[in-house]
A and B are shown apart, each in its own frame.
Chain A
Amino acid sequence: MNSSLLTPSSSSSSPHHLQSPATFDHDDFLQNFFSSAPWPSSALDDDAPPPTSDSSLAGFHHHDVDSRNQITMIPLSHHNPNDAVDVNALYSGFSAGSLPFHFPQGSGGGVMKQSHTQTQSQATASTTTGGTAATPQTKPKVRARRGQATDPHSIAERLRRERIAERMKSLQELVPNGNKTDKASMLDEIIDYVKFLQLQVKVILYLSLVLSMSRLGGAASVSSQISEDAGGSNENTSGENQTAAKMTEHQVAKLMEEDMGSAMQYLQGKGLCLMPISLATTISTATCPSRNPLISAVKEAGVPLSPNAVTTPLVNVKGASVVTVKDASSVSKP
C-alpha cells in the first residue's frame, strides 16, 4: 500500500489565513497600536504572537468597539506566554472581544461602558486564574456592572469558550506537531491532519486496487480512475489549495502504471524513498522516539518490473528524520 506522501506544510497555509483578516483597511489602526503600546516582545519566545495580535485585533475591530480599550487588554493577555493560563488568557481575550455582540440592544453609552468594564474585568480575571469566578477588588463601579454582567449570556459564552478550549487541548494531543500554542495555527494543523488521514485512507484503498489489478492486467484503467477520482474530490473539498500530497499522489499513480523505476526516481526527487520496512522502523524508533512522526509504512506487492522492489514500503517521515531517509535511499536502490 502506499500512504500519502508529503504532508502539506502548514507554515505555508497559516500566514495566508492569519493575514487575510488583517487586510481590511486596518493598517493605520495597527500602526497606531504598535506605536502607542509597547509590545512586550522580550516576554514572547515564539513567532506566533504578532500574527495572533493581528488576527485578534482584526477580530476586535470587527466588533466596532472603542479600540483603545481593546488595545490595553491585549498586552495583558500576552504577558504570560508560558503559563498554563495562556490558552485561557487567549480565549478570554477573544471572548471579551466578542462580548459587545451581546449588548446591541442596550443604550449607546451604556453599551460602551458595559463592554469596557467587562473587558477589564475579563482581563483581570484571565491574568489571575482561569476566569470563571474571579471578582475584581479595585473598582466598585465594576462590581455594580458585574451584577448585570453575569447574566446567562456571558456565562454561557464563557462556558462555551472553556469547552472549546478543553476540546482543543485534547485535539492537540492527537495531532502530531501539536505544540503550537496559537489557536489559529493549531486549527490549521488539525485541518491538515484530517485531510491527510482521509487522503491516506483513499490512497491505501486505491493503491491496493492498483496492485491487485496489475496482477490481473488492468492497471492502466485503475490508475486513470484514481487520478480522475482524486481530481474530483479536490474540487469538492476546497478550491483553495491542492496540496503537495495530492499532486504527488497523481504523479505517482501515473508513473506506477508505466514503470516502477521511474516512480521511485520521482519519489527520490521529492525527498522520499522506498525502503525496507525493517529499516524504516529502525530509523523511526532511533531518531524520533519522543515526537510523533507521521510515519506510514506501506508495503507494495511484488511488481514484475523491479525484482528488488518486492515488499518494499513507501515511507513518509516528517521532520528531522527526512535527512536519514535520504541517506538510506542509496541502500534501497536496486
Chain B
Amino acid sequence: MASADKPINTDVPEKDVFALHFLQSLSNLRRQNTFDSPEKTNDRVKKIKKAAYVSMARAAGGTNRLWSRALLRRAAKENNKVVRFPRRKKRVTCLRRRSNRRDPVEEEEAERLRNLVPGGGGMGTSKLMEETAHYIKCLSMQVKVMQCLVDGLAPK
C-alpha cells in the first residue's frame, strides 16, 4: 500500500464559476419549456432543484470529485440518460480494498455521513472525509451564490 500521503486538494472554484453554471442551467430550463401554469409547479420546482444541484456539481469539479460524479449520475438516471465517466486510478482502489477499511467504532457516524453526501456508499472512510470537506465548501458557495441572485432580483 502506498505509504506517502499526497497533500489533499480541497480547492473550490470561485463564486462566479458557480454563478455562471447556475445561470446557464436556469436559462437552459427557460429555453426548454414555458412554465406559467400553477398546476405544473411540482415539476417546475423539481426541475429547478435538480438544475441547481447539477450546476453545482459541474461547477465544483465536474467529474473529478466522487460526490459530483454520483450527483450527475443520479440526475442523469432520472432523465434516462446513460453517463459514462473515464475510469481513473483503478489500481489504487484495488490495493486499498485489501486493508480493513471500516472500523465499527466510528462506522455509525460514517454511515450517517454516507447517507448525506452523494456517492458516499462506495467510499472508504478517509475518502469520505475528503469528499465531505469539498462538499461542504461547495454547498456553502452555492448558498452564497443563490442568496446574491435572489437579493439582486428582489424588487425594492
* Cross-interface CB contact of B8 among A170, A298, A311, cutoff 8 Å: A170
Secondary structure at the A interface, as helix, strand, loop or mixed, is helix
Query: Across the interface, do A157 and B99 meet the contact criterion of CB distance under 8 Å?
Result: yes
Inter-subunit contact A159/B1 (CB<8 Å): yes
Q: Which residues of B contact A59 (CB under 8 A)?
A: 104-105
- The smallest beta-carbon distance between A5 and chain B, in angstroms, is 14
Report the 10 A-B pairs with minimum CB-CB distance, sorted nearest first.
A167-B129, A218-B38, A59-B105, A187-B109, A197-B139, A1-B150, A301-B154, A156-B99, A163-B126, A299-B151
Give the secondary structure class of B's interface: helix
Contact of B150 among A94, A197, A218, A299 (CB under 8 A): A299
Taking beta carbons and an 8 Å cutoff, which residues of B are in contact with A? Answer: 1, 3, 5, 8, 10, 36, 38-39, 41-42, 44-45, 48-49, 52-53, 99-101, 103-106, 108-110, 112-113, 115-117, 125-126, 129-130, 132-133, 135-137, 139-140, 142-143, 146-147, 150-151, 153-156
For A191, the closest partner residue in chain B by CB is B112
Q: Are B139 and A206 in contact (CB under 8 A)?
A: no
Quick one: which of A141-190 are within 8 Å of B by CB? 152-153, 155-157, 159-160, 162-164, 166-168, 170-171, 174-175, 183-184, 187-188, 190
In the bound complex, CA of A94 to CA of B100 (Å): 14
Is A17's beta carbon under 8 Å from chain B?
A: yes
- When C-beta atoms are compared, the residue in chain A nearest to B99 turns out to be A156
Chain B residues near A218 (CB, 8 Å)?
38, 41
Q: Does A222 contact B41, Cβ atoms closer than 8 Å? A: yes
Residues of B within 8 A of A164 (CB): 106, 125-126, 129
Query: How many residue pairs bridge A and B at CB < 8 Å?
Result: 162
Q: Is the CB of B45 within 8 A of A167?
A: no
Q: Chain A: which residue is nearest B117 at the CB level?
A: A194
In the complex, which residues of chain A have a beta carbon less than 8 angstroms from the beta carbon of B1?
A: 152, 155-156, 159
Number of interface residues of A (CB under 8 A): 69
Q: Contact at B113–A300, with CB atoms within 8 Å?
A: no
Q: Are B116 and A237 in contact (CB under 8 A)?
A: yes
Give min CB distance, A165 to chain B, whole Å.
9
Of the candidates B38, B110, B136, B154, which one forms a contact with A193 in the assembled complex, judged by CB atoms under 8 Å apart? B136
Chain A, residues 184-218, CB within 8 Å of chain B (1/0): the string is 10011011011101101110111011010100101
Q: What is the minimal beta-carbon distance from A161 to any residue of chain B, in angstroms?
A: 9
Residue A62, interface by CB 8 Å? yes
A168 to B109, CA, bound (A): 13
